[in-house]
Structure 1
Amino acid sequence: MQIPERVPVVPVRGSVIFPTMVMPIDAGRPVSVRAIDAALNGERVVLIVSQRDKEVESPEADDLYSVGTLANILRMRKNPDGSVQMLVQAFARARVRRYEGAEGYLTAEVEPIQDVPGDEVEVRALFREVQERFAAILKEGKYLSPDVAQYIQKLEDPSQLADYIAFHMDFKLEDKQKILEMANVAERLRRVLVLLDAELELIETQRRIQQQVKEEIDRNQREYFLREQMKVIQKELHGEEGEEEVEELRQRIEELNLPENVRKEVDRELGRLARMHPDSAEAAVIRTYLDWIVNLPWNTRTEDNLDIERAKQILDEDHYGLEKVKDRVLEYLAVRKLRYERAKRGEIPAEEVNKGPILLFVGPPGVGKTSIAKSIARALGRKYVRVSLGGVRDESDIRGHRRTYIGAMPGRIIQGLRQAGSKNPVFLLDEVDKMGQSFQGDPAAALLEVLDPAQNKEFTDHYLGVPFDLSEVLFIGTANFPQLIPAPLMDRMELIEFTSYIEQEKLEIARRFLLPRQLEENGLSKGQVHITEAALMRLITHYTREAGVRNLEREIGSLLRKAARRILEEGKKRVRITERDLEKYLGPPRYTPEAEAREPQVGVATGMYYTPVGGDIMFVEVSIMPGKGQLILTGQLGDVMKESARAALTYAKKNAERFGIELEKFEKSDIHIHVPAGAIPKEGPSAGIAISSALVSALTEVPVRHDVAMTGEITLTGRVLPIGGVREKVLGARRAGIREVILPKQNEPDLRDIPRNLQRDMTFHFVENLDQALDLALVGGLAELEARAKRAKRARARRKKTQPAAQA
């Protein structure tokens, strides 16, 4: 018959159809239904081709074999659900030259394959052998129905015999496809013969195994039957329990109102569970998976409380100070409230309300980063979840393990949401800077998707395998050292800095929060122990040195425990702890703040330094001694501090004539710069002014003022550059008794961070160059130094004039 130029393709799964067969075919997939409709509108010829993978729902050209069967559509009936039932008659093998897509189905350009008879004697011999092997298989009586078997045995065409046996026997799809692709009849018969031999060998092996099993049963017949009966009883009982469990899970899944793509995956897993034995290992894995699904808050959320006044009150109740942080939190609430009101009026989409920044709290330990996140959750009326990322080195801690692994679990993000029971909690990612990397992946990279508002709406945990919406979660991170956080992750977060507490803030925190809490924890009532304000202040300055208040709370607890012991042993009703009692209870002071120098000294300048636990002063000492022009640096100075010392020396050499310093002095002297407390490493550029002042003082023998502290970075040309930690440095100088401070001009705005009551009795000088700094630091000022230099220069000139006369 005439074959059309392009033939519609009907893909089939798990089956191969051979020529001369008349077969009913059920088609339900759109790609097949459209192809059948196209064939009916044309020559009623279709190409039936097997899929390589039967799981593929919408096959394309690469998913199909290149050889199929051409067939005529004899009858066709459409069902109400859109599926099609048709009767086809296959009439030829066909090789596909090219597949093409057309309006939702595939068409093929085909070339019919004609049978090649082969050697007649060989074909006859193979024909007989195949008939004998097929008859031997039929004797087993369980492979084919009698009608089909009788029909095949009566076939006289070798080609048809090979095709029909291949179709009706339980061969693999790949073997059937190979037989379809063989044009040579002899080769086809030989292939079928090999497969029949393999089947006979398998039958013989099964018979042997059955015989062995029968012998084993005969040996232990009674015990075996009893055990089998017990198994059947247990199976029946567990089967009922399994059905109840599946039905319960199905009801809970219905109540969740899951997204369509999630529901499809969950229904598939639930169907697998229903078909499995409840005691199988695979059933346990699926049961655990579905348990996670039904316990996640897919649509459960808390209503936000956007009352800004209430939030301000809660933040002030829980924390003293931290004004910048509180302001930022209230700004967040204000923006969210405005968005909510606009969404109610229909001006913006509802999902826009949830958008907001990812906050990163950065600061030293103990300053309240974690606890203020709790207060934010309380102010918003949201659930609170904390996940510690310190030491996390495996990507699966964030994204979870794939279910193929033994003991697989979801990642910490999904675990936290299940713990919260809400879709929009305040989620604290603690210690973000402490994450590591290993061969198991980079957890910081896995966090990129979690913390990106544009991506986290479709966050997919490896264990769940379906997307979960994280866009409503308020993520807050904490870190001590932001420089340890990878740049791409840092870019997704808004940094809010927590500075260390000053003594006055620590005193208020101790009075308002720490002391009442420790009284309660140590079984004391409010009136039983009284610690004076002076005692608390001395406890802060002489017994603790920290940015936060954790150690201070421990020391208060220690005091209260000793007071509790006195109350019980001595029968006291009330214990009062004063400043004098601290040494009796806690021993001698552990830390003594540096004190102001007693008098101006040559070569000794007062600098200021910053640490995460607060600021203090330090003395920079310079000594000039006979030598060969070497610069000696001691006191465990870092590279940057050493560079500041070299820059100061260059500045002094450059201005030697102006300062009255003889250049020979640099060549014939060694300059030793030392910063005391040699066991403590020191680093940073901010000691530049102090080093320069001490160096010029030592070279000119003009003392440095003892009542002035200074800080600032210097350049070779004498410019003074800004530095950090001004608040802590100034308060450290004030604690040491110094009331006059030299600072870089560009740091003038930083004074706003210092409480006004602490600035009242202090004097601040802002300088732009070293000349201004030296004028303030040296006794008599720069004018007096330069005048001395001029007098010394004139004296040297007079000596030179009188020297020849004396020689004459």
Structure 2
Amino acid sequence: MANGETIIVPLLPLRGLLVYPTMVLHLDVGRDKSIQALEKAMMDDHTIFLTTQKEVSIDEPTIEDIYSIGTLTKIKQMLKLPNGTIRVLVEGLERAEIQSFVEKEDYYAVEITTFKEPLEKTAEEEALMRTMLDYFEQYIKLSKKISGETYATVSDITEPGRMADIIASHLPLKLPEKQGILETVDVKERINRILSIIHNEKEVLQLEKKISQNVKRSMERTQKEYYLREQMKAIQKELGDKEGKTGEVAALTEKVEKAGMPEHVKTTALKELDRYEKIPSSSAESGVIRNYIEWLLSLPWSNATEDRLDVNIAEKVLDEEHYGLEKVKERVLEYLAVQQLTNSLKGPILCLAGPPGVGKTSLARSIAKSLNRNFVRVSLGGVRDESEIRGHRRTYIGAMPGRIIQGMKKAGTINPVFLLDEIDKMSSDFRGDPSSAMLEVLDPEQNHNFSDHYIEETYDLSKVMFIATANNLASIPGPLRDRMEIITISGYTELEKIHIAKDHLLPKQMNDHGLKKSQLLVKEDAIQSLIRYYTREAGVRSLERQLATLCRKSAKLIVKQERKKVTITNKNIVDFLGKHQFRYGEAELEDQIGVATGLAYTTVGGDTLSIEVSVTPGKGKLILTGKLGDVMKESAQAAFSYIRSRADQLQIDPDFYEKNDIHIHVPEGAVPKDGPSAGITMATALISALTGRAVRKEVGMTGEITLRGRVLPIGGLKEKSLSAHRAGLKKVLVPIENEKDLDDIPESVRNELTFVLVSHLDEVLNHALVEEK
């Protein structure tokens, strides 16, 4: 491009605007110096130099504030507007560069040199023009902001420089980019620059189009959902369903947010809620999901009661509600003390084992009260199905969580005292083994993430204080028993029963029967008679029933106005309860030959057992009756073999087993009996029958016998001792190895019974048999 002439022309600085050669444009001019420059140009040859300010905000620009290259233009038209500005129509002629600034008083003037574009075009320029035109056409199709007429106008242009300027004027470029094209004097370079800009703009437009389509698609889906929801609301409103599921789901979502669930449970709940909202109410699955969400919301996830960690208050509560049971109380107080020191102890698993009626369940309730915890009881008696513990899967009709989760819902807190009642009564069948499912519940290492089939999400049971009750530890599987701390409650002495009746049972029954203290008085000797002659049990359940009978009969007398106050004594108790049901005193009224009193352990406490032996002429048969188990039969045979081996020392005919039939019978033949501890009792009764020496009536005994006559230790000594005390025995023979168990026997019983430790049957016979005259 060749340089043209150098001329001096008025200057019009533009703000935020740029004019290319051959471009026609309207301008509004308001600055005084600019208006003066226009007027000067109109007076001369209508030409004026337009260039752009670098900064729009400057009102009085200098040579440094404007670009040096601009456009020499011709003023086509000028019009004064009412607001004082001038609207002018200009046409760009050619590029020009400022050489110097000419100071004028009223306007700006500059000396410029113009650039002449070559009239001829090369083949390369022709190719570049065609490429540029093709790019511009593609850009127009993508942009849709430029009309088709514009493309037609541009395609008619034959000069490459002019075509580049016209296309640049239609591109959405920032001012510095436009100025850059204006300053590119070389035509080929200018076209290449425009090609690069159009290429970039095309890519941006394609990306915009893609984003726009995605947004539109998303908007359409959202609008469609909104439209369908509005329709559904309208339909539900017409059907009288108020707001349908929408309001319900919103309320449930709010509850889920406030429930304090762990994050993984909360995520599951919200996911199920989303499914619930989309499923029609008529669908069966809708009810299943709703049920599931209700269960998740009803479970305690973070709500806990604050433990009362004052050991003294807890001890006071336990003593007020229960007499005796020192071992259990001590264990609870130890737990509290450790909790107070560490504040992080896992819930213990206690198992209260003992006969019915000794207060296992009520003690658990008192423990909850002393700890200030909620109490929940679940009975496991007769549970045979594993799903009773773990719950059923939601795929089954009528599925429900297991008893553990149901109990937690009832408790309402994450740290209740949870009573598993009658844990020894669980059994198993083809539906699974519930005791195996209990292993996870009662294992402190596992129960922090207990899994219920219905809830599916893990539930933390580690803060729960589990207390189990059992009558018979033998029926609890070993692995389950291993996870529990066994505390044995053997039963009550007569003295303890009197205290319990006076302080707890009688006031409770009087209150239940509407009797005041002024209306009924039961004297202590009457309670003692009640215990001795109307009950024979380890616990106090029958005692409570008999006291209830006294209350009922007294209430009847008072209501019929036969008496204003009823006093029950040892003498008139027969009038209320009838004749004595049990005999108190010696197990036998007199010393007898062939009858020995044994002590037995049963699931309902200890009991005395008379073993009878009769010897009749015969052929040496050994007959055993009384529904005896295999172990008991073996004890009888062991005793028989021992006597045969020691016949001379015992002064028995060595051929006794060939000449006589021996019949061993244990009364109450309908009751199954088994166990090794009747060994020495059978041997004593046999020797008594064979030697003719009577057995002392006041002596009871328990111990296993060997073929050499050794006495082996037994279990349940405390229960057996209490039964001996109830039966009125005076002396009890126990194996020497059970000496350690004597400390567990209540002091009142130890004072009234004489315990003799024996290691061999010879010692047993010395104490049990009456001396020969």
TM-score by length of 2: 0.66
Residue 560 of structure 1, CA deviation: 1.1
The structure-2 alpha-carbon separation of the partners of 1:270 and 1:751, relative to structure 1 and needing over 3 Å to count, comes to same
Secondary structure class of the residue paired with 1:299: coil
Partner residue, 1:274: 277
Residue 491 of structure 1, CA deviation: 2.4
Partner residue, 1:524: 515
- Distance in 2, Cα, partners of 1:408 & 1:676: 50
The structure-2 alpha-carbon separation of the partners of 1:302 and 1:700, relative to structure 1 and needing over 3 Å to count, comes to same
Partner residue, 1:305: 308
In the alignment, structure 1 residue 252 sits paired with structure 2 residue 243 = no
Secondary structure class of the residue paired with 1:266: helix
Structure 1 counterpart of 2:295, from 283, 292, 301: 292
The structure-2 alpha-carbon separation of the partners of 1:287 and 1:756, relative to structure 1 and needing over 3 Å to count, comes to closer
- Distance in 1, Cα, partners of 2:433 & 2:667: 43
- Distance in 1, Cα, partners of 2:691 & 2:752: 32
Partner residue, 1:564: 555
The structure-2 alpha-carbon separation of the partners of 1:675 and 1:395, relative to structure 1 and needing over 3 Å to count, comes to closer
- Distance in 1, Cα, partners of 2:625 & 2:762: 26
Q: Provide, for residues 363-415 of structure 1, a one-character-per-residue CA deviation record: whole Å limited to 9, x for no partner.
A: 22221111111111111111111112222233332222333333333222222
Partner residue, 1:283: 286
Structure 2 counterpart of 1:335, from 305, 321, 338: 338
- Distance in 2, Cα, partners of 1:755 & 1:256: 51
RMSD: 3.1
Residue 522 of structure 1, CA deviation: 0.8
Query: In terms of Rg, which structure is larger?
Result: 2
Partner residue, 1:690: 681
Structure 2 counterpart of 1:673, from 648, 664, 683: 664
The structure-2 alpha-carbon separation of the partners of 1:441 and 1:663, relative to structure 1 and needing over 3 Å to count, comes to closer
**Residues 750-759 or 730-739, more deviating:** 730-739
Aligned pairs for 1:484-503 within 5 A? 484-503=475-494
The structure-2 alpha-carbon separation of the partners of 1:629 and 1:75, relative to structure 1 and needing over 3 Å to count, comes to farther
- Distance in 1, Cα, partners of 2:278 & 2:667: 79
Aligned pairs for 1:331-410 within 5 A? 331-340=334-343, 353-410=344-401
Structure 2 counterpart of 1:622, from 583, 594, 613: 613
Secondary structure class of the residue paired with 2:613: strand
In the alignment, structure 1 residue 645 sits paired with structure 2 residue 648 = no
In the alignment, structure 1 residue 243 sits paired with structure 2 residue 246 = yes
- Distance in 2, Cα, partners of 1:671 & 1:414: 59
Partner residue, 2:131: none
In the alignment, structure 1 residue 750 sits paired with structure 2 residue 741 = yes
Structure 2 counterpart of 1:581, from 567, 572, 579: 572
- Distance in 2, Cα, partners of 1:665 & 1:78: 118
Structure 2 counterpart of 1:607, from 575, 598, 605: 598
Aligned pairs for 1:700-711 within 5 A? 700-711=691-702
Partner residue, 1:515: 506
- Distance in 2, Cα, partners of 1:717 & 1:497: 33
The structure-2 alpha-carbon separation of the partners of 1:360 and 1:671, relative to structure 1 and needing over 3 Å to count, comes to same
Structure 2 counterpart of 1:448, from 423, 432, 439: 439
Residue 752 of structure 1, CA deviation: 1.6
The structure-2 alpha-carbon separation of the partners of 1:76 and 1:445, relative to structure 1 and needing over 3 Å to count, comes to farther
- Distance in 1, Cα, partners of 2:554 & 2:587: 35
- Distance in 1, Cα, partners of 2:286 & 2:588: 78
Residue 258 of structure 1, CA deviation: 2.9
Secondary structure class of the residue paired with 1:370: helix
Residue 599 of structure 1, CA deviation: 4.6
- Distance in 1, Cα, partners of 2:369 & 2:610: 47
1:479 maps to amino acid: A
Residue 525 of structure 1, CA deviation: 0.2
1:515 maps to amino acid: L
The structure-2 alpha-carbon separation of the partners of 1:392 and 1:661, relative to structure 1 and needing over 3 Å to count, comes to closer
The structure-2 alpha-carbon separation of the partners of 1:573 and 1:334, relative to structure 1 and needing over 3 Å to count, comes to same
Partner residue, 2:582: 591
Partner residue, 1:434: 425
CA contact (8 A) 2:237 2:243 kept: no
Secondary structure class of the residue paired with 1:764: strand
Secondary structure class of the residue paired with 1:657: coil
1:637 maps to amino acid: L
- Distance in 2, Cα, partners of 1:614 & 1:295: 41
Q: Provide, for residues 259-313 of structure 1, a one-character-per-residue CA deviation record: whole Å limited to 9, x for no partner.
A: 2222222222222233344554443333332222223221111111111111111
Partner residue, 1:234: 237
Q: Provide, for residues 557-616 of structure 1, a one-character-per-residue CA deviation record: whole Å limited to 9, x for no partner.
A: 111111111122244221111123222222222222463545544433333334344445
Partner residue, 2:536: 545
Partner residue, 1:461: 452
- Distance in 2, Cα, partners of 1:718 & 1:510: 44
Q: Provide, for residues 219-268 of structure 1, a one-character-per-residue CA deviation record: whole Å limited to 9, x for no partner.
A: xxxxxxxxx99983636864734322222222222223432222222222
CA contact (8 A) 1:427 1:474 kept: yes
1:301 maps to amino acid: A
Partner residue, 1:325: 328
The structure-2 alpha-carbon separation of the partners of 1:674 and 1:235, relative to structure 1 and needing over 3 Å to count, comes to same
- Distance in 1, Cα, partners of 2:288 & 2:588: 73
2:754 maps to amino acid: T
Secondary structure class of the residue paired with 1:687: helix
- Distance in 2, Cα, partners of 1:78 & 1:442: 67
TM-score by length of 1: 0.64
- Distance in 2, Cα, partners of 1:481 & 1:77: 84
- Distance in 2, Cα, partners of 1:337 & 1:510: 35
- Distance in 1, Cα, partners of 2:256 & 2:755: 69
Secondary structure class of the residue paired with 2:243: helix
The structure-2 alpha-carbon separation of the partners of 1:661 and 1:278, relative to structure 1 and needing over 3 Å to count, comes to closer
Residue 766 of structure 1, CA deviation: 0.8
1:249 maps to amino acid: L
Identity of aligned residues (%): 53
1:271 maps to amino acid: D
Structure 2 counterpart of 1:418, from 396, 409, 428: 409
Count of matched residue pairs:
553
Q: Provide, for residues 203-222 of structure 1, a one-character-per-residue CA deviation record: whole Å limited to 9, x for no partner.
A: xxxxxxxxxxxxxxxxxxxx
Residue 706 of structure 1, CA deviation: 3.5
- Distance in 2, Cα, partners of 1:657 & 1:618: 29
Secondary structure class of the residue paired with 1:530: strand
The structure-2 alpha-carbon separation of the partners of 1:463 and 1:302, relative to structure 1 and needing over 3 Å to count, comes to same
Secondary structure class of the residue paired with 2:732: strand
Gap runs ≥5 in structure 2: 1-201, 214-230
- Distance in 2, Cα, partners of 1:297 & 1:599: 65
**Residues 489-498 or 765-774, more deviating:** 489-498
Partner residue, 2:265: 262
Aligned pairs for 1:145-160 within 5 A? none
CA contact (8 A) 1:360 1:479 kept: yes
The structure-2 alpha-carbon separation of the partners of 1:621 and 1:76, relative to structure 1 and needing over 3 Å to count, comes to farther
Aligned pairs for 1:709-748 within 5 A? 709-748=700-739
CA contact (8 A) 2:420 2:466 kept: yes
The structure-2 alpha-carbon separation of the partners of 1:470 and 1:780, relative to structure 1 and needing over 3 Å to count, comes to same
Gap runs ≥5 in structure 1: 1-73, 88-227, 341-352, 785-808
- Distance in 1, Cα, partners of 2:283 & 2:326: 59
- Distance in 2, Cα, partners of 1:677 & 1:461: 47
